[in-house]
Chains A and B, each alone.
Chain A
């Protein structure tokens, strides 16, 4: 593809100046570009290009790992939403507050997220940990006056984190 060759320079310049000036300007540009063409820059060393390719492949593999980790994190956040929703139902409904629910909530992120190095993943991981600690607080304060508000806030926060997750 050579877009610069496809444009009609004289026609383009005629929109800004009279015909003679457009002809002269086009000639200056064309002759100037001929000089550039006749004095090519040195070529990169083949070893450099091979190194660039190696770096590209390494970057691509790193990226695949991060995308995979993000997907798992997304699943973990979704699971956390389910847990908080169940907690909300327990609070407002008559479901029993089972020990099993607490176990699931406590085990979500730490098993999966060791070694994540992408900045987004790290932020999301920190948010999950924060939510997990808030969840523990809510669970241990079943009779507190603000318990229902705290559960609602937590659920909202989890939904936002999940949204960010899928937006990437």
Chain B
């Protein structure tokens, strides 16, 4: 969809038009689901996070100040994923105190598979969690490296290096 069309939809959302919000679900729902699925490896959890994202979008749409909407929505998706990780971490600490082991579990990539994980999902599980998230952010948001660096407030060289490292390892693993 062209940037101009997206802007029209966002203007409608700011006016509280229900049709425009459902249009955003049509435009971004599948991509955002893919992003959550590749990070968690779990369909049910991805469904939940997707719903949370769009409900939050209703609350926050007024704070969008132009620029890349893809970047804006995927930054929000990333925040929701991190909130989920923190929640799971707290929950797990309360249960058994093995916080380090749980961090990777709560990312869902190792133990959260819902049974039909593909080869790529297994390979992604081998990547460092921060690198994996960056690679997924880049692929699903279609943001440029410059935009990712701005949104993460990290130097562009660092982002380039991490994504390169992640994708090179992925190539090796997918052999």
Contacts and interface: CB of A to CB of B under 8 A. Distances in A.
Interface of A: 1-7, 9, 12-13, 16, 25, 28-29, 31-33, 35-37, 39-45, 48-49, 51-53, 55-57, 59-60, 63-64
A39 B120 contact: yes
Nearest to B58: A59
A32 B170 contact: yes
Contact of A39 (B16, B21, B118, B135): B118
Interface in B1-35: 1-3, 6, 16, 18, 21-22, 25-26, 29-30, 33-34
A150 to B, nearest CB: 38
Determine the main DSSP class of A at the interface with B: helix
A5 B54 contact: no
| B contacts with A: majority SS | helix
Interface of B: 1-3, 6, 16, 18, 21-22, 25-26, 29-30, 33-34, 37-38, 43, 46-47, 50-51, 54-55, 57-59, 68, 70-71, 116, 118-120, 135, 138-139, 142-147, 156-157, 160, 163-164, 166-168, 170-171, 174
Given A28-B167, A39-B120, A44-B50, A3 B21 contact: no
B55 A56 contact: yes
Given A13-B160, A56-B25, 12 more contacts: A2-B142, A3-B70, A7-B145, A7-B146, A9-B145, A12-B160, A28-B164, A36-B120, A40-B34, A42-B116, A57-B21, A60-B18
Nearest to A26: B164
Contacts of B29: 44, 49, 52
A115 to B, nearest CB: 20
B68 A60 contact: no
B22 A53 contact: yes
A50 B49 CA distance: 15
B164 A25 contact: yes
Contact of A57 (B22, B46, B50, B51): B22
A56 B59 contact: no
A32 B145 contact: no
Ordered nearest first, which 5 A-B pairs have the shortest CB separation? A32-B167, A41-B34, A39-B120, A44-B33, A3-B144
A52 B171 contact: no
A56 B58 contact: yes
A13 B145 CA distance: 10
Nearest to A41: B34
A35 B144 CA distance: 18
B168 A64 contact: no
Contacts of B70: 1, 3
